[in-house]
Amino acid sequence: MFFRRYRFRWSLILAVILILGGLFFYTARGIRIETDILASLPHQDPVLADAHRVIRHLPVQDRLVCDLEIRGGDAETLVAAAERFETGLTRSGLFRKVGLGEMQALGPELVAHVVGHLPLLFDERQLREEVAPRLAPESVERQLAENLDLLQGMEGIGQAELVARDPLGLRTLVLARMAQLLPAREARFHRGQLLSNDGAHLLLTAELAGAATDTRFSRAIPPLLDGLTKEMNAVYRSRGVSFVVTPVGAYRAALDNETAARRDMRMAIWLTTIGIALLLVLTFPRPLIGLMALLPSTAGALCALFLCSLIFPRLSILAVSFGGAIMAFTVDLGIAYLLFLDRPFETTGKQAAREVQSAERLAVLTTIGAFLLLTVSEFSVLAEIGVFAALGVACAYAFVHVVFPLIIPVMPPAKRVRTSPLATLLDRIVPSEGSGRGRLAAAALLFGVMLCFSRPVFQVDLNAMNSLSAASIAAEKRVQAVWGNLTSRVYLLTEGPSPRALQDKSDALAPWLEEDERRGVIRASFVLSDLFPGEARARRQAEAWRAFWTPERTADVARSLKRSGDGMGFSPAAFTPFLNSLTAAPPAAPGVPDRLAGLLGVSPGPEGRVQVTMVTPGPAYDARAFFDRYAATGLVRIFDAGLFSKRLGDVLVTLFTEVALIVALGITLVVFLFFLDWRRTLIVLAPVVFALVCTLGTLKLLGRPIDIPGVMLWVVIMGMGIDYGIYYVCAYQRCLDERDPSMRLIRLAVLLAAATTLIGFGVLVIAEHAVLKSIGLTSFFGIGYSLLGAFVLVPPLVRRVLTPVALPPESFPAGSPRHTARARLRYRHLAAHPRLFARFKMRLDPMFPRLAGFVSAPRRILDIGCGIAVPSVWLTELYPQARVFGIDPDEERIRVARQAMGPRGEMRTGLAPELDDLPEEADTALVLDVIHMLDEAAWRRTIAVLHAKLIPGGRLILRATVPADRPFPWKRRLEEFRLKVHRLAPHYRNRTAIMAGIAAAGFHLETVGADGPGSEEVWFVAVRSPSDPIEAASRTSEGARP
């Protein structure tokens, strides 16, 4: 029964489902997505370009940091527990590297290098300010005492040689510069672990084996940490010792965001499903048909993804995420079409498409044109978004107007015929004629008030887009309270083809950093030259070393060492190696050993080697000034997390503000070119402008700044808001009566499209996730105000502009400017195509100056193949008493002709020669540029019927194309092409054949002549003679009756 009633093309439906399924699987697996947002953004910005380069060599984002706090135990117990904890992390397989074991293992080798190259590691200032104070006798004695304590403890095993070569502890001055490489500065090493100064906290780090932002990977970390903590507390509980583990890291933000997003989206899906289902039940006689509105938008997004995968080698994640936006502002295409299809009478797919084609064509053109303008931007991601959105909208439109009519050729009438409650509500909301002034004034007042608060305030902090849980925020504060802000440092990336090149760059960079340390711009820094200077710097510092160690200073130090050493039990020759090094030739400039490269932040790079080092900002630090100063040197690339976040936010705001401006200009241009009327363009734009001002004002009153998601979303809101005005204006142009059933359906389509979007986005207003909440608020107000503007502002404005004007009769010469202007006014309220066609036909077609000469005060005109009735309109302005009956096979042309003619005529759809329904007693028949579409039988039948319908003396005015021997008859070629598109063949006749046909029908030819020199259009004017005296007498007597 179902398949008999619904005669759909089920095989095509199955094919469409299979194609869409294939596209889905291809786009889900085969498309290459660029997930690196930085790579998608413009690299012309130096801050982002440097950040992109540095972050690739910076594992800090994929690192777990744990603060282990001991309660009731000592440092030894804390270290033992940490080792147990590290073992558990290692066994989990979730971490590539755990702890600081590498630094501890390579420490002795690094210390040996420092002691062996002391003459190369101090410049003149450092010798004067750091080394000289250690030469005082009391300082020497204190350092030797520390050395003695070291040698007498367990950690002093193997340290005797180091003490002999460096009794003054100069190595500690050098190694202190490496504090920048440690996770925290306010700490000390104990048995290979980093402890706080009070010994109650231990900092443990681990490098994740996967990406911290990959929640499928990082989801396993919290239960692992909880389990290890419980296990550790269980082991030490009997000793009265407990531990508190506080983990921090980017993985927590990723998990918190995902948890909030999942919870919010689950809620949104349920509420949206319930809301949309309720809307469909209240709106569509058959709600399941309403669900089909999602098909075009889905198909558009999938097809656009597929086509973009062929155009772009990799598609930015920002562009891909725009797929949801495409579905948001293309769903109304399907809704409008299906509302006209699901009606209480049988409707064909082509009829439904014809009803909405004009409005949807403009909506699609505005969107495509606006987004294609993005391709001229210098930002590659904008070009991708522009192409992706344009293709998606075009494919959705094609699906509605090509695929839908094919798979649903005929829709049977709905069994349940009822008035939609939403339609009834709209009838009350939308102001009717004469009742809209009050609502318009209220809207204007609201606009004026909101305009006072509409100055936008932007919030571009990317951190504000994170939704951290209270536990994560507390953990961050706790760790920072103990160890300081671990993310406050600035990272410097040095690049070179070899380690030696890195050393040379570090040599050049060191004076800049030293100067900034003196100025208070930075507190501390570390460069490769601090341990491995290049040749030039090594020579300079060796010379400073020799100059510093004068014979007098060397003798003084030797005496101090002997005096203090003798008292502590050191042998007389214990410090000879050190004293000999003061006068010996300095060592050669060392290279960077491969074993120590990782410890020093040196790693392989795309063009050789790179080194990442850190500096700590000081009180006079200014991020932008620091970046500009060091970027100008060309020695390093800089990454400051705060500057990067601010700059990225600024760039994103600029990026999507540019998108919004380009789209706005593009939409305005396309709307104007479509309507070719600035008043209609302003009416269509009115809801969007109203929504923009009111949304900005509302958000300002709520104390919510415009954030990045809000800027990005405004493009979608603008695209949807403009569609509401387009649908209403185009529908009114078509109907010219707000009580028309089609106008009711269009209003319902606009409301349904807005309501589904309001429900889908509006439920996010109560979301916990910052981004989702921002999207919800911005979209709710933006779309809501757009809908309000469409229903309150547009109807009274469109009535004022598009209501046909009835002009009083006037007297003017035929073809005069006033005559032409009055005729054009009859098309003023119509769409651009008939309006322009009428204008240019009256101006360019030589028909009109001659047409007036062929008629004589007509009262009843038959217009065969009337088209949009331009000649009849032109004649009725000249002869106000005339009434016209027109016929044309095209329903759309007849609709336009009815609107242009108004009460002065009657227009019907029909084909020549089926003219029996034509009224009798016409005095004029127009057959203009028609007979080449009639075969011989139709031509003879048509001319015979016209003879019967005309009164004696009635005039037949016929213009026909008579082919001539010309090089390129372009007008005829265009007409032949038009006929070929409609699968028709031309039937041209020569003058003789046409004259013979006219005469055979009983007409007397008066005039035969070409339109102009060389023209193929020929006029044939004939007069009907009475067929017999009885008929003539009958007509005469009828005309004489009172």
d(CA 122, CA 225): 45
Q: Minimum mean pLDDT among 47-61, 99-113, 180-194: which range?
A: 180-194
Amino acid 182: pLDDT: 63
Amino acid 1033: pLDDT: 38
Q: Is the pLDDT of residue 706 over 80?
A: no
The Cα-based distances of 764 to 197, 277, 708, 759, 767 in angstroms read 47, 18, 16, 9, 5
pTM of the predicted model as reported, rounded to 2 decimal places: 0.68
Q: Minimum mean pLDDT among 87-96, 137-146, 359-368, 997-1006: which range?
A: 359-368
Amino acid 1020: pLDDT: 95
Average pLDDT, stretch 942-949? 91
The more confidently predicted of residues 379 and 472 is 472
Cβ(409)–Cβ(337) under 8 Å?
no
Using the 8-state DSSP alphabet, how is residue 860 labeled? Answer: E
Average pLDDT, stretch 118-141? 90
Domain interval for residue 949:
817-1040
The more confidently predicted of residues 405 and 282 is 405
Amino acid 434: pLDDT: 57
Is 1019 inside a domain boundary?
A: yes
Average pLDDT, stretch 249-259? 77
The Cα-based distances of 625 to 42, 44, 47, 630, 639 in angstroms read 22, 18, 12, 9, 13
d(CA 710, CA 780): 11
Q: Is the pLDDT of residue 945 over 50?
A: yes
> Mind listing the pLDDT tens digit for each residue in 188-228?
777 767 888 788 899 888 888 877 767 778 889 999 999 99
Band of residue 992 on the pLDDT scale cut at 50, 70, 90: very high
For the domain that residue 948 is a member of, what is the CATH number? 3.40.50.150
Q: Residue 756: what residue type?
A: T
Is 476 inside a domain boundary?
A: no
Q: Is the pLDDT of residue 90 over 70?
A: yes
Q: Any residues with CB less than 8 A from the CB of 278 and at least 6 apart, and which?
A: none
Closest CA to 140 of 558, 732, 726: 558
Amino acid 690: pLDDT: 92
Q: Is the pLDDT of residue 1036 over 70?
A: no
Is 950 inside a domain boundary?
A: yes
Average pLDDT, stretch 686-697? 90
The more confidently predicted of residues 683 and 258 is 683
Q: Is the pLDDT of residue 155 over 60?
A: no
Amino acid 1028: pLDDT: 45
Q: Which of 425-439, 695-709, 720-734: highest mean pLDDT? A: 720-734
The per-residue pLDDT of the chain, averaged, comes to 82
d(CA 612, CA 605): 11
Amino acid 739: pLDDT: 80
Q: Is the pLDDT of residue 554 over 80?
A: yes
Q: Residue 650: what residue type?
A: D
Cβ(359)–Cβ(730) under 8 Å?
yes
Q: Is the pLDDT of residue 1031 over 50?
A: no
d(CA 709, CA 325): 12
Q: Any residues with CB less than 8 A from the CB of 20 and at least 6 apart, and which?
A: 298, 299, 302
Closest CA to 505 of 602, 373, 598: 602
Is 412 inside a domain boundary?
A: no
Band of residue 30 on the pLDDT scale cut at 50, 70, 90: low
Band of residue 1041 on the pLDDT scale cut at 50, 70, 90: very low
**pLDDT > 70 in the chain, percent:** 84
Instruction: Please state whether the peptide bond connecting residue 919 to the residue before it is cis, i.e. omega within 30 degrees of 0.
Output: no
Average pLDDT, stretch 358-370? 79
Band of residue 39 on the pLDDT scale cut at 50, 70, 90: low
Is 473 inside a domain boundary?
A: no
Amino acid 990: pLDDT: 92
Tally of domains within the chain: 1
Residue with tokens 């106008």: 743
Amino acid 197: pLDDT: 79
Q: Is the pLDDT of residue 716 over 80?
A: no
The more confidently predicted of residues 401 and 461 is 401
d(CA 141, CA 147): 10
d(CA 488, CA 478): 16
Amino acid 952: pLDDT: 92
> Mind listing the pLDDT tens digit for each residue in 822-835?
999 999 888 888 99
Q: Is the pLDDT of residue 290 over 80?
A: no
Q: Is the pLDDT of residue 79 over 50?
A: yes
d(CA 280, CA 188): 68
Pairing of strands 706-707, 905-909: unpaired
Is 547 inside a domain boundary?
A: no
> Mind listing the pLDDT tens digit for each residue in 384-400?
877 888 888 899 899 99
> Mind listing the pLDDT tens digit for each residue in 599-612?
777 888 777 888 88
Amino acid 328: pLDDT: 61
Closest CA to 561 of 585, 577, 547: 577
Amino acid 1030: pLDDT: 38
d(CA 83, CA 924): 108
d(CA 931, CA 58): 80
**pLDDT > 90 in the chain, percent:** 23
Is 294 inside a domain boundary?
A: no
Using the 8-state DSSP alphabet, how is residue 586 labeled? Answer: P
Average pLDDT, stretch 514-543? 89
Q: Is the pLDDT of residue 126 over 60?
A: yes
Amino acid 186: pLDDT: 61
Band of residue 1037 on the pLDDT scale cut at 50, 70, 90: very low
Is 983 inside a domain boundary?
A: yes
Q: Is the pLDDT of residue 1017 over 50?
A: yes
CA torsion sign for 277, 279, 284, 285 is positive
Q: Any residues with CB less than 8 A from the CB of 279 and at least 6 apart, and which?
A: 290, 422, 752, 755, 756, 759
Q: Is the pLDDT of residue 38 over 60?
A: no
Q: Is the pLDDT of residue 323 over 60?
A: no
> Mind listing the pLDDT tens digit for each residue in 967-987?
667 788 888 888 888 788 899
Average pLDDT, stretch 29-56? 70
Amino acid 815: pLDDT: 86
Average pLDDT, stretch 676-683? 91
**What are the φ/ψ torsions at residue 9 (nearest 5 degrees)?**
-90, 85
Average pLDDT, stretch 222-244? 92
Q: Is the pLDDT of residue 767 over 60?
A: yes
Band of residue 1039 on the pLDDT scale cut at 50, 70, 90: very low
d(CA 778, CA 413): 40
d(CA 831, CA 1021): 33
Amino acid 842: pLDDT: 92
Average pLDDT, stretch 16-43? 72
The more confidently predicted of residues 707 and 985 is 985
Q: Is the pLDDT of residue 269 over 70?
A: no
Closest CA to 504 of 540, 541, 536: 536
Structure tokens at 488: 């406050």
Q: Is the pLDDT of residue 314 over 60?
A: yes
Amino acid 628: pLDDT: 93
Amino acid 57: pLDDT: 74
Closest CA to 279 of 758, 654, 672: 758
